[in-house]
C-alpha cells in the first residue's frame, strides 16, 4: 500500500523543553519524522517550544512554530495553517496529551484535521488502568497465553484489608483511592505495616477506599519495542532487560539489549502477548512499547503497561539495533507498510523483519543529585535521572564497562584501587536500597568478600548478571597477578572492557604508560558495524563501535575527514544545545566536501543517528576511546581535523591531551582555551584589552576569606576553585555566613572570592571570530539580575534595556577578548553592567548553551558558520556565501525585530523538598523560547511554554526581601490594576499600602495559624487559594525564620503547581506578560516568517 | 587452558577454548542468528552433520531444561559460541549447557571471532570445518582432514535421523483427524502443534512407502523437515500421495520434496537461512510473517503466476523478502501445500502457526 495521496500537509507536535523523563529522544524522533515527511513531499508544520532542538531548525519544516505546546496555541496554529493531518506520536506524552485535548474540545473536527499514526480509543485503552487490565485478561484467555495483571483487591474496611492478605500475601502495595499525587501509598511488609498504612489510607481517601496490590518488587523487568503497520504486520524491534529489577523506574535502571536471561519459550510468550495486546488495544500504526515483569521463581508474567507512541526506549532501541523506529513510524503513518520500506543499513532487505544482534548494548542512567541538596537519592518508580549513556560491546562485560566510563563521572567505573574497603556487610546493606551506582557498590561488595547468593538476596539482580560482576573481579585479579603485561594479558583485559586507566590502577602504573605499552604490543580495538542482522547481510552504513575482536570493518575514506566530538550523556549544564551545535557542524561540513565522523555515546540524540554524519562511532568520550577512533580513521585516509569546541566541556577537556598526542585539533587551540579558563592568564588578557573584571581574591582559611571580603566589600560570590559548572557556588552577604561557608569547605582547597555585582544587569554574548573579523551573534539580556546562573535565568534578545551605544561597547569588548585569547570559531562571554561599567565575568571559547537560541532568534546558523571558520573559512567569505548576513550582525537587529525570550525549565517537581530558589549553581534541565514583536507577549509565551499559562486573574501573594521592596511596587500595582487581589506578609503589605496598593495581610508560615484559625500562607497555597506567588529569598542557608518561610512557600508552590516568581525583574516581566494576555493580542508566527521580516 | 582450534576447509582458522565435550568433529560450517532458543537448535535433527555457530555472543545463560528439546538428543556435529555462560539462571533449568554438551558428546569451541566467521561464511558460502579441542597436528594437516569430510551436496541423511519405528502422537482433546507424518528429521513441536488441533499424528520412518502412508487411511499426509540434499530423496511415495488426492502439508525438507514431486528442481543456497527473524510474505494476502528458518537448500520456481505440474496448476505461495527465495508452494486447488520455513517455530516466533489451521481446514474440506 503506497503513500497516501489525500493528505498534503501534516502538523507535527514536539515535546517541548527537556525535562526529566522527556528529553532529547523526542528531538531525535521528531527530526526523523520531519525529514521523512518532507522527503515524501508533504508540507510540514511543526510546533515545539524548545529552541535547542534540531527539529525546530527552519530547514526541517515548511512552517516552524516555536510556540507553547498548549491546546490554545496549537489551535491558533491549526487555524492559521489548516493542516490536513496531525501526527502526535513522536513528541512524547506532551504531544499525545495535546492531541487528545484538541480532539476532545472538537478543534480537530472543526478544522477537519485527521489524526494519523494514532487512534483515540487506542490511547485511552492503553492509558486507562482498568481497561488495560481487561485487555490483558482477554488476550490471555483467548490466546491461551501466560499473561496477567498484578492481582489487586479494593478494600473499604480494615477487615477487608486483612482478608485480602490471604490472596495477595506480603509484601503488598497500599494505594488509597483519589488522593492527590499518590499521597498515602506505601509498602506493607507485615500486619502492623498494613494496619498503619491502610488505616491512614482509608482515612485519607475521600471514598474510604484503598487498593491493595500484590508486590512485584524484585521481579525481572523487560520491555519490548513493537511496530505495527496498517496491514497488521507486526515486528518486535528490540527486547530490553532491566538489570535493576522491578521497583526502579526503567529510565533510572541499568538496562541491556537484547534480553539475556529468557529462554525462547518465555521470550516467544512475551512476544505473542505484546502482539496480541497491541492488536486488542488497537494501535493503528507506528511504534509502541510494552513492559513486563517476570517472577524469577515461577516465570509468572505480568503485563505492566504499554505506551502507544514512540518513547525514550524507542530511541534506545533504534540506536541499539540500527532500526530507526521514529522514521519508520512516520512512514507507516502516511500509509506505507513495513515491507515497502527498505532497511537503510543493508539497503537490500526490507524493514519488515526483526533485528538480531551479535553484540550487547548497555544503557546506564546519569543522575545529578549533587545539584539538588536535600533530594532523596533512593531510586524508585519515579524517574530521577537527567540523562543516559549507551555503549556497545561484543560481550556484556565489555559493553557494561564502556557504558560506565561513558558517564564521565568519577566514581562511575568499577574500581580495584588499592586501599581499605568498607566492610562486606556495610556494602551489602547499601546494595539493598537502589541508588545511583548500585552496580559499583555490588562490585565493591564482591571485593569485600560477598558471595553471589548474598548479593542476590540483597538486590534481586538476576544471578547471571551477578556472575558477570564476579567474572570481572576474577579478570581484575588475573590482571593484577600477571607477572608481565604481555599482549595476551592486555588483550584479555581489553576484551572484558577494562580501560587503560583501570589497567593502570590495577597494575599501579599510569594510564599513559599502559597505552604506550599496549600500542607498542599492537593491541588495538577493531570497529564492528551495527548492521541489524548479525552479519547475515553486508552493511552499507558505517555505524561503528569498538571492540577487541578480530576484524576491523572501518570502510576506506573518500574525502578528507573531520571528526566531531559530541557531548556525551545529558546532564545539567550540558545537554541538547551542544548536540545541536555538533549536528549542525556535521551537516555543514559534509555539504562543504568533508567526510564527517561523529563520536558520541548518548542514545537520545540526533547526533547518534546513523544518517546524521557520514560515519558514526558510538563510543565513550574518554581520551583513550577518542584516540583509538582517530587512529582508526587515520588508517583509512587523511583526517583534516578534530572539533572539540561544539560538544561542551566534555570534548574541550580533551583538547590539550589530543593535541599532545599529535591529533590535529581545529578551531581555537588548546593553549587559547587555557588562556580563557585559567584565572591569572585570563586576567592578563583582560588587562591588555583594557577591560574590567569584578574585584576578586583567593582564600584557603576563614580569616583569609574575611580579609578578602573586607577588601572588596560584600556581597561576594564564593566558589571552590577546583570545581566547574557552578557547583558549590554561593552569594554571601555577611561575615557570619562567609565563615560558615569556609568552615564547610574541605581543608586546604582554595576558594575564589569575587565581588558580587548586586543589581547588575547580566549580559550573555555569543560571537564568531576568524582571527580578523568578529561576528556578534547575539546579545542577550538576563531578565533576572546577576547572581543567577546564566543557564537558569530568562533572557531577552535583542536586549530590552540596552542602547546601541552599549552594544557597541559590548562588541568592542568581545572582539578584544576574542583577539587576546586567540579564538577561531565560537566564543561566549558573560558580562555584568553595573553603574555604567561593563564588567567581564567569564569567557568560554566554545559553543555555548545559547547558540541554538541565538541562531533561531536571529535566523543565522551560528554553529554551521563556526564549523566552517574552524576549518579555515573567514567571516567575510561566509558573508559572501550568504551563510552570514552581507552586512551587520546580531548586534544590529532592526528596531522592529521580534523579541525572543528564553526561559529555563527546572526539575523541582521531581525533587520534592529541594529549595527552588535560583542561584549561581545551574539546575535547569531545559529551556523554551517565546517570540513576539512585544516583550510582554514573548515573556508570557515563554512562561506558558515552560510552566503553564500565567494567570490573568485571582490572588497574587507577594513577599519580598527588604532590598527588593522598592522595586516591587510598580509591578505589584500593575497586577492590582489588572484586578488581582494582592495578599502579602506584614512587612511587604505595609510598604504596598503606603504606596497606595491595597494588600491583605496573611500570616507567615513561621507564625503558625492565628487564634481564630486564620491560615498561614502555606496553608492558603496548599488549599489552592493562590494563583501567583512572588517570593524573593533573603538570608542564607542554615538560617531559620524568614528564610525557612520562603522555602516552605516555594515548596508548597511546586506541590500545587502555582507559578512562583523569585526575582523582582521576573515579576516586572510577568506583569507585562499578563497585561499582554489580558489585551488579547497574542498571535503566532513561524520562524520562517520571522526570518523573512528580519531580512526584509 | 588448552587452545582449541576451528579449521575451515579453505584454510582459515579460529583459535579459542574447548567447550562441551573434548575431541574432534567435522561437519558443514553454518551460522544461526537467533538470539534465543539454543536448546531447540541443538536438538533440531535438521542440523545433523553441521557445525553450528551462534552469532549471539552469550550462550547458555538459561541452562538446559527437560521441556525445550525438539528431539531426544543433540544433533549438531559441533558447536561454536563466543561467551559460554558460567552459571545457569532460569527457574526451569536443571543443568548447564556445558554439562549437557559433555554428556551428549558434542565437541564445541568458544572463539572471540564468531562475527568474523559469520562474515567469512557469508562471503564464501557454507563450507566444511572441523573443531579440534587439543590439536596435535599442524594446521595444514588439519585442513587436509577437514577436506576429507563429506560435503552436504548429495548427502542423503534423513534416514540417519528419522525414527526407525512408527509411533503415534495422540490428539489433545477430541480427535478430529488422522495425519500420517513422514519423519525426515521431525521436530517434537510439529506433531504437538497438530495434536493441539485435534490431529492424531502417526509418525512414520523416512523410508515409509506410499502403501504404508496411505494404508493408514489418513485425512492428511505430512512431510517434515530434515537434513541433507533433497536431490537425493526418492519422491515417488510423495507423488503417489499427491495422486491419491489426500491433503498434503510439508515443512522445510518436506517443501523441497513437494517441489521435486511437482517437477521443480532444488539448489543449494550460498549460506542458507538459519535464524528466527526472516520476513516471509504470503503472496495471496501480502502479509508478512516473521519466521523461523533452517535451510541450506531451496526450490527453484517461477515467482510470478501459476505453473503447470502433473498434479494441476501450482504457484509459489510464500516468498522471502530478504532474498526473494521461494518459501512456499501450493497447488491452486488448495489440497496440497508446503512451506520452506518453520511454522512450528521452536525456536522462533509463532506468526506462521496459522498454517496448521489451514492444514486442518483442508482436511476438514476433504472429509466433508
In a domain, A139, yes or no: no
What would the grid cell of residue A77 be? 496554529
In a domain, A1038, yes or no: yes
In a domain, A125, yes or no: no
Whether residue A70 has pLDDT greater than 50 = yes
The pLDDT assigned to A269 comes to: 97
- The answer to whether the CB of A290 falls within 8 A of the CB of A306 is yes
Looking at the structure, tell me whether residues A1038 and A979 fall in a common domain.
yes
Chain B residue closest to A346 (CA)? Answer: B322
Looking at the structure, tell me whether residues B96 and B242 fall in a common domain.
no
For residues A114 and A86, what is the distance between their CA atoms, to the nearest angstrom? 6
Burial class (CB in 10 A: 0-12, 13-18, 19+), A852: buried
| CATH at residue A851 | 3.30.470.20
For residues A1018 and A1002, what is the distance between their CA atoms, to the nearest angstrom? 10
> Which pLDDT band, with edges at 50, 70 and 90, does A1062 fall under?
confident
Active-site pick, B120, B273, B295, B342: B342
A295 CA to chain B: closest CA distance, Å?
A: 9
Looking at the structure, tell me whether residues B139 and B255 fall in a common domain.
no
Looking at residues B40-52, what average pLDDT do you find?
98
Query: What DSSP string runs through A294-313?
Result: E-TTT--EEEEEEESS--HH
A549 CA to chain B: closest CA distance, Å?
A: 6
Looking at the structure, tell me whether residues A917 and A1028 fall in a common domain.
yes
User: B89, B121, B148 — which closes off a domain?
Assistant: B148
Looking at the structure, tell me whether residues A747 and A763 fall in a common domain.
no
Q: A354 — contact with chain B (CB < 8 Å)?
A: yes
Looking at the structure, tell me whether residues B134 and B39 fall in a common domain.
yes
Q: A40 — contact with chain B (CB < 8 Å)?
A: no
Looking at the structure, tell me whether residues A715 and A783 fall in a common domain.
no
Looking at the structure, tell me whether residues A940 and A1065 fall in a common domain.
yes
Whether residue A1038 has pLDDT greater than 50 = no
Whether residue A1018 has pLDDT greater than 80 = yes
Range of the structural domain that residue A649 is part of: 549-675
Looking at the structure, tell me whether residues B236 and B295 fall in a common domain.
yes
Q: A467 — contact with chain B (CB < 8 Å)?
A: yes
Residue in B85, B90, B322 closest to A263 by CB: B90
Residue numbers belonging to the annotated binding site of B? 46, 226, 228, 253, 256, 294, 296-297
3-state helix, strand, coil in chain A (%, to 5): 40, 20, 40
Residue A1041 is given by DSSP the state: T
Q: A60 — contact with chain B (CB < 8 Å)?
A: no
Contact A265 B113 (CB under 8 A): no
Q: Which residues of A touch B277 (CB under 8 A)?
A: 353-356, 533
The pLDDT assigned to A1041 comes to: 41
User: B90, B122, B148 — which closes off a domain?
Assistant: B148
> Which pLDDT band, with edges at 50, 70 and 90, does A746 fall under?
low
A620 CA to chain B: closest CA distance, Å?
A: 21
Whether residue B111 has pLDDT greater than 50 = yes
In a domain, A506, yes or no: yes
Q: What is the dihedral of CA B151, B155, B157, B159, to 10 degrees?
A: -150
The pLDDT assigned to A206 comes to: 77
**What percent of chain A lies above the pLDDT cut of 70?**
97
Looking at the structure, tell me whether residues B122 and B188 fall in a common domain.
no
Q: Which residues of A touch B67 (CB under 8 A)?
A: 265
In a domain, A48, yes or no: yes
For residues A619 and A628, what is the distance between their CA atoms, to the nearest angstrom? 10
Contact A535 B115 (CB under 8 A): yes
Whether residue A747 has pLDDT greater than 80 = no
Query: What DSSP string runs through A430-466?
Result: HHHS--TTHHHHHHHHHHTT--HHHHHHHH---HHHH
Cβ partners under 8 Å of residue B32, min gap 6: B41, B52, B53, B54, B55, B274, B275, B294
Number of domain units in chain B: 2
Cβ partners under 8 Å of residue A803, min gap 6: none
Across the A/B interface, how many CB contacts are shorter than 8 Å? Answer: 166
Q: A338 — contact with chain B (CB < 8 Å)?
A: yes
Looking at the structure, tell me whether residues B91 and B193 fall in a common domain.
no
The pLDDT assigned to A500 comes to: 98
Looking at the structure, tell me whether residues A662 and A573 fall in a common domain.
yes
Looking at the structure, tell me whether residues B98 and B197 fall in a common domain.
no
Looking at the structure, tell me whether residues B226 and B358 fall in a common domain.
yes
Q: A348 — contact with chain B (CB < 8 Å)?
A: yes
Looking at residues B336-363, what average pLDDT do you find?
97
> Which pLDDT band, with edges at 50, 70 and 90, does B46 fall under?
very high
Contact A265 B67 (CB under 8 A): yes
Give chain B's mean pLDDT: 97
Q: Which residues of A touch B125 (CB under 8 A)?
A: none
Residue numbers belonging to the annotated binding site of A for ATP? 129, 175, 181-182, 214, 216, 221, 247-249, 291, 305, 719, 755, 757, 762, 787-790, 830, 842
Looking at residues A1004-1022, what average pLDDT do you find?
87
Number of domain units in chain A: 7
Q: Which residues of B touch A549 (CB under 8 A)?
A: 112-113, 115-116
Looking at residues A1029-1035, what average pLDDT do you find?
77
> Would residue B58 be called left, alpha or beta, if left means φ above 0 and alpha means ψ between -120 and 50 degrees?
beta
Q: Which residues of A touch B276 (CB under 8 A)?
A: 264, 354, 356
> Which pLDDT band, with edges at 50, 70 and 90, does A307 fall under?
confident
In a domain, B195, yes or no: yes
> Which pLDDT band, with edges at 50, 70 and 90, does A1037 fall under?
very low
What would the grid cell of residue A554 be? 572501518
Whether B252 is catalytic: yes
Whether residue A724 has pLDDT greater than 60 = no
Q: A231 — contact with chain B (CB < 8 Å)?
A: yes
Degrees, nearest 5: CA angle A295-A299-A303: 70
For residues A627 and A609, what is the distance between their CA atoms, to the nearest angstrom? 22
Whether B342 is catalytic: yes
In a domain, B46, yes or no: yes
Residue numbers belonging to the annotated binding site of A for Mn(2+)? 291, 305, 307, 830, 842, 844
Q: A265 — contact with chain B (CB < 8 Å)?
A: yes
Active-site pick, B24, B289, B315, B344: B344
Contact B36 A338 (CB under 8 A): no
In a domain, A281, yes or no: no
Looking at residues B182-205, what average pLDDT do you find?
98
Residue in B37, B85, B279 closest to A352 by CB: B279
In a domain, A72, yes or no: yes
Q: Which residues 533-592 of A are in CB contact (within 8 Å) with B?
A: 533-538, 548-551
Contact B68 A495 (CB under 8 A): no
Looking at the structure, tell me whether residues A1011 and A947 fall in a common domain.
yes
In this structure, how many other beta carbons lie within 10 angstroms of the beta carbon of residue A423?
A: 12
In a domain, A358, yes or no: no
Looking at the structure, tell me whether residues A972 and A1068 fall in a common domain.
yes
| CATH at residue A21 | 3.40.50.20
**pLDDT by residue (tens digit) across B270-291?**
999 999 999 999 999 999 999 9
For residues A884 and A865, what is the distance between their CA atoms, to the nearest angstrom? 7
| CATH at residue B240 | 3.40.50.880
Q: Which residues of B touch A139 (CB under 8 A)?
A: none
Contact B277 A355 (CB under 8 A): yes
Looking at the structure, tell me whether residues B347 and B286 fall in a common domain.
yes
Q: A272 — contact with chain B (CB < 8 Å)?
A: yes
What would the grid cell of residue B293 be? 528458518
Q: Which residues of A touch B322 (CB under 8 A)?
A: 348-350, 353, 537
Looking at the structure, tell me whether residues B143 and B172 fall in a common domain.
no
Contact B89 A396 (CB under 8 A): no
Q: A267 — contact with chain B (CB < 8 Å)?
A: yes
B16 CA to chain A: closest CA distance, Å?
A: 12
Q: Which residues of A touch B346 (CB under 8 A)?
A: 264
Q: Which residues of A touch B121 (CB under 8 A)?
A: none
Looking at the structure, tell me whether residues B219 and B355 fall in a common domain.
yes
Task: Give the position of cell 485527521.
Answer: A114
Chain A residue closest to B67 (CA)? Answer: A265
Residue in B36, B58, B118 closest to A534 by CB: B118
Residue in A262, A268, A549 closest to B115 by CB: A549
Least confident of A467-481, A738-752, A764-778: A738-752
The pLDDT assigned to A179 comes to: 64
**pLDDT by residue (tens digit) across A158-196?**
999 999 998 898 989 888 877 655 567 788 899 999 999
Chain B residue closest to A271 (CA)? Answer: B349
Q: Which has the closest alpha carbon to A931: A49, A79, A44?
A: A49
In a domain, B176, yes or no: yes
In our burial notation (b when 16+ CB lie closer than 10 A, e otherwise), range A226-256 reads bbbbbbebbbbbbbbbbbbbbbbbbbbbbbb
Whether residue A207 has pLDDT greater than 90 = no
User: A854, A886, A904 — which closes off a domain?
Assistant: A904
The pLDDT assigned to A181 comes to: 52
The pLDDT assigned to A1036 comes to: 46
Contact B322 A551 (CB under 8 A): no
Degrees, nearest 5: CA angle B243-B247-B252: 95
Residue numbers belonging to the annotated binding site of B for L-glutamine? 46, 226, 228, 253, 256, 294, 296-297
Q: A394 — contact with chain B (CB < 8 Å)?
A: yes
Looking at the structure, tell me whether residues A747 and A762 fall in a common domain.
no
Range of the structural domain that residue B300 is part of: 158-367
Looking at the structure, tell me whether residues A993 and A878 fall in a common domain.
no
3-state helix, strand, coil in chain B (%, to 5): 25, 35, 40
Strand B314-320 to A9-13 pairing: unpaired
User: B80, B113, B148 — which closes off a domain?
Assistant: B148
> Which pLDDT band, with edges at 50, 70 and 90, does A1040 fall under?
very low
Looking at the structure, tell me whether residues B197 and B345 fall in a common domain.
yes
pTM (whole model) above 0.80: yes
In a domain, B125, yes or no: yes
Per the DSSP assignment, residues forming a β-bridge with A350 are A342
The pLDDT assigned to A1039 comes to: 40
In this structure, how many other beta carbons lie within 10 angstroms of the beta carbon of residue B164?
A: 9
Active-site pick, B252, B273, B293, B295: B252
Looking at the structure, tell me whether residues A811 and A892 fall in a common domain.
yes
In a domain, B153, yes or no: no
B contact test, residue of A262, A358, A394, A531 with most B CBs within 10 A: A358
For residues B86 and B97, what is the distance between their CA atoms, to the nearest angstrom? 9
For residues B201 and B218, what is the distance between their CA atoms, to the nearest angstrom? 9
Whether residue A384 has pLDDT greater than 50 = yes
A445 CA to chain B: closest CA distance, Å?
A: 19
Q: Which residues 938-997 of A are in CB contact (within 8 Å) with B?
A: none
Q: A474 — contact with chain B (CB < 8 Å)?
A: no
Amino acid at each position: 500500500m503506497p503513500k497516501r495521496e489525500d493528505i498534503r500537509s501534516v502538523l507535527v507536535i514536539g515535546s517541548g523543553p527537556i525535562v526529566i523523563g522527556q528529553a532529547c529522544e523526542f528531538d531525535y524522533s521528531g527530526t526523523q519524522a520531519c525529514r521523512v515527511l518532507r522527503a515524501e513531499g508533504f508540507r510540514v508544520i511543526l510546533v515545539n517550544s524548545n529552541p535547542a532542538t534540531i527539529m525546530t531548525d527552519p530547514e526541517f519544516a515548511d512552517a516552524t512554530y516555536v510556540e507553547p505546546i498548549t491546546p490554545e496555541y496549537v489551535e491558533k496554529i491549526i487555524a492559521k495553517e489548516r493542516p490536513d493531518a496531525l501526527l502526535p506520536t513522536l513528541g512524547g506524552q506532551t504531544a499525545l496529551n495535546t492531541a487528545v485535548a484538541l480532539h476532545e474540545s472538537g478543534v480537530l473536527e472543526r478544522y477537519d484535521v485527521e489524526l494519523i499514526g494514532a487512534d483515540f480509543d487506542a490511547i485511552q485503552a492503553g492509558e486507562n488502568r482498568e481497561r488495560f487490565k481487561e485487555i490483558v485478561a482477554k488476550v490471555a484467555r483467548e490466546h491461551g497465553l501466560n499473561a496477567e495483571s498484578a492481582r489487586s483487591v479494593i478494600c473499604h474496611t480494615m477487615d477487608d484489608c486483612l482478608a485480602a492478605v490471604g490472596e495477595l500475601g506480603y509484601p503488598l502495595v497500599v494505594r488509597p483511592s483519589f488522593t492527590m499525587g499518590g499521597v498515602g501509598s506505601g509498602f506493607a511488609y507485615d500486619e502492623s505495616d498494613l494496619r498503619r498504612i491502610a488505616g491512614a489510607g482509608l482515612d485519607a481517601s475521600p471514598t474510604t477506599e484503598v487498593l491493595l496490590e500484590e508486590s512485584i518488587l524484585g521481579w525481572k523487568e523487560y520491555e519490548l519495542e513493537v511496530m505495527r503497520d496498517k496491514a497488521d504486520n507486526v515486528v518486535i524491534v528490540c527486547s530490553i532487560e532491566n538489570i535493576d529489577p522491578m521497583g526502579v523506574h526503567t529510565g533510572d535502571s541499568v538496562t541491556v539489549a537484547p534480553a539475556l536471561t529468557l529462554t525462547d519459550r518465555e521470550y516467544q510468550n512475551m512476544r505473542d502477548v505484546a502482539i496480541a495486546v497491541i492488536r486488542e488495544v488497537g494501535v493503528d500504526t507506528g511504534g509502541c512499547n510494552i513492559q513486563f515483569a517476570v517472577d524469577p521463581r515461577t516465570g509468572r508474567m505480568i503485563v505492566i503497561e504499554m505506551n502507544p507512541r514512540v518513547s525514550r526506549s524507542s530511541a534506545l532501541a533504534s540506536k541499539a539495533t540500527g532500526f530507526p523506529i521514529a522514521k519508520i513510524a512516520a512512514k507507516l503513518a502516511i500509509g506505507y507498510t513495513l515491507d515497502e520500506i527498505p532497511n537503510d543499513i543493508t539497503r537490500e532487505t526490507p524493514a519488515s523483519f526483526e533485528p538480531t544482534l551479535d553484540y550487547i548494548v548497555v544503557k546506564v542512567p546519569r543522575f545529578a543529585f549533587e545539584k539538588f541538596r536535600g533530594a532523596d537519592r533512593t531510586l524508585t518508580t519515579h524517574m530521577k535521572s537527567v540523562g543516559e549513556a549507551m555503549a556497545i560491546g561484543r560481550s556484556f562485560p565489555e559493553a557494561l564497562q564502556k557504558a560506565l566510563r561513558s558517564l564521565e563521572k568519577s566514581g562511575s567505573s568499577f574500581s580495584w584501587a588499592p586501599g581499605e574497603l568498607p566492610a562486606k556487610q556495610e556494602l551489602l546493606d547499601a546494595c539493598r536500597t537502589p541508588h545511583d551506582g548500585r552496580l559499583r557498590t555490588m562490585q565493591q561488595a564482591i571485593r569485600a568478600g560477598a558471595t553471589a547468593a548474598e548479593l542476590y538476596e540483597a538486590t534481586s539482580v538476576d544471578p547471571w548478571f551477578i556472575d558477570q560482576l564476579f567474572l570481572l573481579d576474577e579478570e581484575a585479579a588475573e590482571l593484577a597477578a600477571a607477572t608481565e603485561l604481555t599482549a595476551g594479558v592486555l588483550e584479555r583485559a581489553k576484551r572484558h572492557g577494562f580501560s587503560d586507566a583501570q589497567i593502570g590502577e590495577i597494575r599501579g602504573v599510569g594510564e599513559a604508560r599502559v597505552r604506550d605499552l599496549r600500542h607498542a604490543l599492537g593491541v588495538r580495538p577493531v570497529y564492528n558495524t551495527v548492521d541489524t542482522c548479525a552479519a547475515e547481510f553486508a552493511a552499507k552504513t558505517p555505524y561503528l563501535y569498538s571492540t577487541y575482536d578480530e576484524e576491523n570493518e572501518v570502510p576506506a575514506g573518500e574525502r578528507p575527514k573531520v571528526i566531531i566530538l559530541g557531548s556525551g550523556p545529558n546532564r545539567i549544564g550540558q545537554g541538547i544545545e551542544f548536540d545541536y551545535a555538533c549536528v549542525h557542524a556535521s551537516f555543514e561540513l559534509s555539504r562543504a566536501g568533508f567526510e564527517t565522523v561523529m563520536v558520541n555515546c548518548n542514545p537520545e540524540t540526533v547526533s547518534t543517528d546513523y544518517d546524521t554524519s557520514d560515519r558514526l562511532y558510538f563510543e565513550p568520550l574518554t581520551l583513550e576511546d577518542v584516540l583509538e577512533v582517530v587512529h582508526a580513521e587515520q588508517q583509512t585516509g587523511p583526517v583534516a581535523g578534530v572539533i572539540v569546541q561544539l560538544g561542551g566541556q566534555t570534548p574541550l577537556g580533551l583538547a590539550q591531551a589530543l593535541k599532545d598526542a599529535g591529533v590535529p585539533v581545529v578551531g581555537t587551540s588548546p593553549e587559547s582555551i587555557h588562556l580563557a579558563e585559567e584565572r591569572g592568564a585570563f586576567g592578563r588578557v583582560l588587562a591588555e584589552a583594557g577591560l574590567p573584571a569584578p574585584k576578586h581574591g583567593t582564600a584557603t582559611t576563614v580569616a583569609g576569606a574575611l580579609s578578602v571580603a573586607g577588601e572588596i566589600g560584600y556581597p561576594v560570590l564564593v566558589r571552590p576553585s577546583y570545581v566547574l559548572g557552578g557547583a558549590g557556588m554561593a552569594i554571601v552577604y555577611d561575615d557570619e555566613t562567609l565563615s560558615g561557608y569556609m568552615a564547610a569547605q574541605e581543608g586546604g582547597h582554595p576558594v575564589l572570592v569575587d565581588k558580587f555585582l548586586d543589581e547588575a544587569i547580566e549580559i550573555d554574548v555569543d560571537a564568531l571570530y576568524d582571527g580578523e573579523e568578529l561576528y556578534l551573534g547575539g546579545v542577550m539580556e538576563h531578565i533576572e539580575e546577576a547572581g543567577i546562573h546564566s543557564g537558569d535565568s530568562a533572557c531577552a534578545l535583542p536586549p530590552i534595556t540596552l542602547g546601541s551605544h552599549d552594544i557597541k561597547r559590548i562588541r568592542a569588548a568581545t572582539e578584544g577578548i576574542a583577539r587576546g585569547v586567540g579564538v577561531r570559531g565560537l566564543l561566549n562571554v558573560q558580562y555584568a553592567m553595573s553603574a555604567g561599567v561593563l564588567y567581564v565575568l567569564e569567557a568560554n571559547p566554545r559553543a555555548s548553551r545559547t547558540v541554538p537560541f541565538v541562531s533561531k532568534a536571529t535566523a543565522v546558523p551560528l554553529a554551521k558558520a563556526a564549523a566552517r571558520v574552524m576549518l579555515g573559512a573567514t567571516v567575510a567569505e561566509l558573508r559572501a556565501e550568504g551563510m552570514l548576513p552581507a552586512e551587520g550582525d546580531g548586534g544590529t537587529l532592526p528596531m522592529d525585530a521580534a523579541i525572543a525570550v528564553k526561559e529555563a525549565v527546572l526539575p523541582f517537581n521531581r525533587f520534592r523538598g529541594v529549595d527552588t530558589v535560583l542561584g549561581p549553581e545551574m539546575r535547569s534541565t531545559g529551556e523554551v523560547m517565546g517570540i513576539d514583536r512585544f516583550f510582554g507577549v514573548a515573556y508570557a509565551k515563554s512562561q506558558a511554554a515552560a510552566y503553564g499559562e500565567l494567570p490573568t486573574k485571582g490572588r497574587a501573594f507577594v513577599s519580598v526581601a527588604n532590598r527588593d521592596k522598592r522595586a516591587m511596587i510598580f509591578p505589584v500595582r500593575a497586577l492590582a490594576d489588572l484586578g488581582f487581589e494582592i495578599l502579602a506578609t506584614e512587612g511587604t503589605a505595609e510598604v504596598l499600602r503606603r504606596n497606595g496598593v491595597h494588600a491583605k495581610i496573611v500570616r507567615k508560615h513561621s507564625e503558625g495559624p492565628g487564634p481564630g484559625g486564620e491560615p498561614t500562607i502555606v496553608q492558603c497555597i496548599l488549599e489552592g487559594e493562590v494563583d501567583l506567588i512572588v517570593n524573593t529569598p533573603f538570608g542564607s542557608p542554615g538560617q531559620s525564620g524568614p528564610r525557612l518561610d520562603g522555602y516552605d512557600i516555594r515548596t508548597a508552590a511546586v506541590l500545587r503547581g502555582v507559578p512562583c516568581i523569585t526575582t523582582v525583574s521576573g515579576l516586572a516581566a510577568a506583569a507585562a506578560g499578563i497585561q499582554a494576555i489580558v489585551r488579547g493580542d497574542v498571535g503566532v508566527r513561524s520562524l520562517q516568517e520571522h526570518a523573512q521580516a528580519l531580512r526584509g | 587452558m588448552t587452545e582449541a582450534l576451528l579449521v575451515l576447509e579453505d584454510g582459515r582458522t579460529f583459535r579459542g577454548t574447548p567447550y562441551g565435550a573434548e575431541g574432534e568433529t567435522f561437519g558443514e560450517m553454518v551460522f544461526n542468528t537467533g538470539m534465543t532458543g539454543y536448546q531447540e537448535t541443538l536438538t533440531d535433527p535438521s542440523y545433523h552433520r553441521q557445525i553450528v555457530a551462534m552469532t549471539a555472543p552469550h550462550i547458555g545463560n538459561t541452562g538446559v531444561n527437560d521441556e525445550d528439546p525438539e528431539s531426544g538428543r543433540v544433533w549438531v556435529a559441533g558447536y561454536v559460541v563466543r561467551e559460554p555462560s558460567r552459571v545457569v539462571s532460569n527457574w526451569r533449568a536443571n543443568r548447564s549447557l556445558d554439562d549437557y554438551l559433555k554428556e551428549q558428546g558434542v565437541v564445541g569451541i568458544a572463539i572471540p571471532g564468531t562475527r568474523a566467521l559469520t562474515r567469512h561464511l557469508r562471503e564464501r558460502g557454507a563450507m566444511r570445518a572441523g573443531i579440534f579441542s587439543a590439536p596435535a597436528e599442524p594446521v595444514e594437516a588439519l585442513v587436509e582432514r577437514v577436506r576429507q569430510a563429506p560435503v552436504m551436496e548429495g548427502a542423503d541423511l534423513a534416514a540417519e535421523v528419522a525414527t526407525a519405528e512408527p509411533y503415534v502422537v495422540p490428539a489433545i482433546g477430541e480427535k478430529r483427524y488422522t495425519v500420517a507424518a513422514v519423519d525426515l528429521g521431525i521436530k517434537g513441536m510439529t506433531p504437538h502443534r497438530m495434536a493441539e488441533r485435534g490431529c492424531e499424528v502417526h509418525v512414520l520412518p523416512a523410508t515409509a512407502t506410499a502403501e504404508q502412508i496411505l494404508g493408514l487411511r489418513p485425512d492428511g499426509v505430512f512431510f517434515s523437515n530434515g537434513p541433507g540434499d533433497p536431490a537425493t530423496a526418492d519422491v515417488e511415495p510423495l507423488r503417489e500421495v499427491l495422486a491419491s488426492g489426500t491433503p498434503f502439508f510439508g515443512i522445510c525438507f518436506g517443501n523441497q520434496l513437494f517441489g521435486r514431486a511437482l517437477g521443480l528442481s532444488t539448489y543449494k543456497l550460498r549460506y542458507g537461512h538459519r535464524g528466527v527473524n526472516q520476513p516471509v510474505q504470503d503472496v495471496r494476502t501480502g502479509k508478512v510473517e516473521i519466521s523461523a528458518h533452517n535451510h541450506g537448500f531451496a526450490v527453484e520456481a517461477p515467482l510470478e503466476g501459476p505453473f503447470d505440474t502433473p498434479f494441476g496448476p501450482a504457484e509459489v505461495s510464500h516468498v522471502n523478502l530478504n532474498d526473494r527465495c521461494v518459501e512456499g508452494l501450493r497447488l491452486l486447488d488448495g489440497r496440497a501445500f508446503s512451506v520452506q520455513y518453520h511454522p512450528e517455530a521452536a525456536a522462533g516466533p509463532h506468526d506462521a502457526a496459522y498454517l496448521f489451521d489451514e492444514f486442518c481446514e483442508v482436511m476438514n474440506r476433504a472429509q466433508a
